[in-house]
A and B are shown apart, each in its own frame.
Chain A
Amino acid sequence: MNHKKKTIALALVAAVLGWSGAAVAEDAPPKGNAQTGKALFEKDGCYQCHGYIGQGAGATGPKLAPEPLPYDAFIRQLRTPAQEMPPYEVAIVSDQQAADIYAYLTSIKKGPDPKSIPLLNN
């Protein structure tokens, strides 16, 4: 397949996945397992750009947790990401695995209030 055909094919895949993401948004987030999601978060390399607890890291990746994006926006970014994030297609991260990762992100507790940290206020 030449480069142009490849690009068209990938665009079609993205379009289909985008539609799937939109369909999911009509329902409640699928049930996921936070413990499994945590393992997947590390295995699939999410932590490399977003940190082990999804805190984000400047130029490499934005904050994912606490208070993650709504599930439909999360799945859209996962499948057809904006900016530099690589797309994670179903073949790489299944819908159930995506739900598990989302459950992990949802389970992450809020950090301390920055006003309560002396080193950030001196």
Chain B
Amino acid sequence: MSRRERAGGPANAVGRGDQKARGRRTAQARENGALQESFINYGGNSKPEWLTCLHEEASVGMCHGYAKASGKPMAAMVHGTVGLQHASMALYNAWCDRVPILLFSGNAGPVEERRPGVEWAHSVQDNAAIVRDFTKWDDYPWSLQHFAESTVRAYVLATTPPMAPVVITADGALQESPLSDREAEELTIPKLARNRVPAGDPNAVREAAKLLIAAENPVIVADRYARTPEAMGLLVQLAELVQAPVVDTKGRMNFPTKHSLCQSERRGALLSQADVILALEPVDSFGLRNRVTDQLGRSWRTTTKANVKFISIGVHDLLVHANFQDFQRYSDAEIPIVGDPVTTMPMLIEYCHKELNDDRKTALGARRKKLDDAYKGLIVRARAEAALSWEASPIGTARMWMELYNQIKNEDWALVSETSSSGNWPHRLWDMNKPQHFHGGSGGSGVGYTCVSSIGAALAHRDQGRIAVSVNGDGDLNMSPGVLWTAAHHKIPLLMLVHNNRCYHQEIMHLQRMANRHNRGVENARIGTEIRNPNIDYAKIAQGYGVYSAGPISNPKDLGPAIQKAIQVVKRGEPALIDVVTQPR
């Protein structure tokens, strides 16, 4: 019996004292030595369940999606040194997106414990150093007691806002060596105590409430705000109380899309006229108040009124590192409040209630009427724009999204991918009103996030009996297509539409700008950006990984029936992929 078996296993330690938060799944990438053997044999592959991934970036990316969909972290185990380097990009995404992940990475420490060959080549003195700039905490425990305490500490730190990934280095000798009787007797696994989350300073919140109620044109901006199921309802309460439009910058599922105060598409106009802006967990405060034009001469200008009052509530400033710069240009605020916005929201609502008198209520009611009219205009405009390419081939992105919605709208569904690279059509035309209807983006813009995180999220939704759907860029899918095998092998149901525009589209637009900046024409901008000649057949790739597939589909009339068939596959509990040849965006 090894040390680990006697101790009952670190995954149990993670969840002890909190059944719901039990770390019951581990996304595993390649070899993990004694811990892996103990989990599958001693643990019976149930606590935790082992998920086999074909790349470390996929395993960590799955954890990212799972955490956002389930509200609790998943653990990943990666090979020391080489595995951790493979995992690093996905860790960076999770760091930027403020998502908790428990990462265990092996290492062979004392020289007499190392086997010859690769264990010498891969051993390091400071295993977590390469990811320390974008993780919240790491440790290298030297005893099982140390391991137990550090693992519980890691869980607590990772899940306390600002949330972020943590790394535990699992020493090889510690994993493999027998546990002495004395160690077995004395070993204790600390009870998991969840930290209470800090709210903003009450005086500052009261000041913010006064400004909001007195404002003529207040605007609420929500970014990575909604981290709990209650968050959206609280924001609706505040917006209706203040009668303020909400600009959802889509870091999370912040506000119902069919609520008439949801006015994200009017962002520019609203912010330029605002006298008070309330930003909730903002990622780019500078960008809310300024516009950068990337032309022949790069320039920026302020787009808000000079006397606008800016209020921010967020925890970003509590976790900033020096080297990897996860922030935008500095922007001041009249009332910068450091605190969790969801925890702060009830207090802000209460203070707004206190500030509101009958006269003010009448004035706010008149403002709401105008906002309702503006919302109706947004819907008319969105429908008109969607119709423009309705019959187009390659297929318009609006058509793709609406054909998908038509098949799921009466189901319990979850959208587990971004929408911004394909027109934001769900946010413009779908009825999105539940936390599972959107999970936000990658955080670090690391390409390859969507395909892996969507399958991690789909796993969480499978447990809730939901149909998970995603629209996945072709460039993104090429980064980690092996994750399709993981979905097939573990029967993770997800309908993935490939938004196949046959290029790295973000890059081609930038290259066009650079070519014109040098006045050299744009003809060659497709070199190094297009994914053509030969065109990739994603349906065949999916079939190779054991996933049901259809396509490539270029005729818009063929898409609806194909989705209908694929949904039946997903309802059977299997993944399905449809290759949709699309307009660029």
Contact = CB atoms under 8 A, between A and B. Distances in A.
Is B one of A's binding partners? yes
Interface stretch (A22-30, A40-48, A99-107): A40-48
Interface string B499-517: 0000101001100110111
A117 B403 CA distance: 11
Interface in A52-88: 52-53, 55-60, 63, 81, 83-88
Contacts of A83: 293
Nearest to A91: B519
A49 B584 contact: yes
A49 B405 CA distance: 25
Contacts of A81: 295
A60 B585 contact: yes
Nearest to A43: B523
B384 A84 contact: no
A86 B516 contact: yes
Given A10-B297, A45-B522, A120-B429, A86 B515 contact: yes
Contacts, number: 115
Interface stretch (B6-14, B315-323, B392-400, B457-465): B392-400
Given A47-B584, A56-B385, A84-B513, A112 B390 contact: yes
A89 B519 contact: yes
A51 interface: yes
A7 interface: yes
Contacts of A86: 295, 512-513, 515-517, 522
Contact of A120 (B392, B402, B503, B519): B402
B508 A48 contact: yes
A69 to B, nearest CB: 15
A113 B423 CA distance: 20
A103 B516 CA distance: 23
B397 to A, nearest CB: 7
A114 B295 contact: no
B296 to A, nearest CB: 5
Nearest to B396: A55
Contact of B388 (A10, A55, A85, A115): A55
B296 A10 contact: yes
Interface string B288-323: 000001111100000000000000000000000000
Contacts of A114: 383-384, 386-387
B178 interface: no
A1 interface: no
A84 B585 contact: no
Contact of B295 (A45, A63, A87, A121): A87
A7 B297 contact: yes
Contacts of B159: none
A52 B526 contact: no
Contacts of B516: 86-88, 92
A118 B386 CA distance: 12
Contacts of A49: 509, 512, 584-585
Contacts of B296: 7, 10, 87
Interface centre among A59, A85, A114, A121 (most CB of B within 10 A): A114
Contacts of A48: 503, 505, 508-509, 512, 584
Given A48-B505, A51-B583, A55-B396, 13 more contacts: A7-B297, A45-B526, A49-B512, A51-B392, A51-B396, A55-B583, A56-B388, A57-B397, A83-B293, A112-B390, A114-B386, A114-B387, A120-B387
Closest 9 CB pairs of A and B: A86-B516, A57-B585, A55-B388, A114-B387, A114-B383, A55-B389, A119-B402, A45-B522, A92-B521
28 contacts: A7-B296, A44-B523, A45-B508, A45-B512, A45-B526, A48-B508, A52-B392, A52-B394, A52-B583, A55-B385, A55-B388, A55-B392, A57-B397, A57-B585, A59-B420, A60-B509, A63-B388, A84-B295, A85-B295, A86-B512, A88-B516, A111-B390, A112-B391, A117-B383, A117-B386, A117-B387, A120-B383, A120-B387
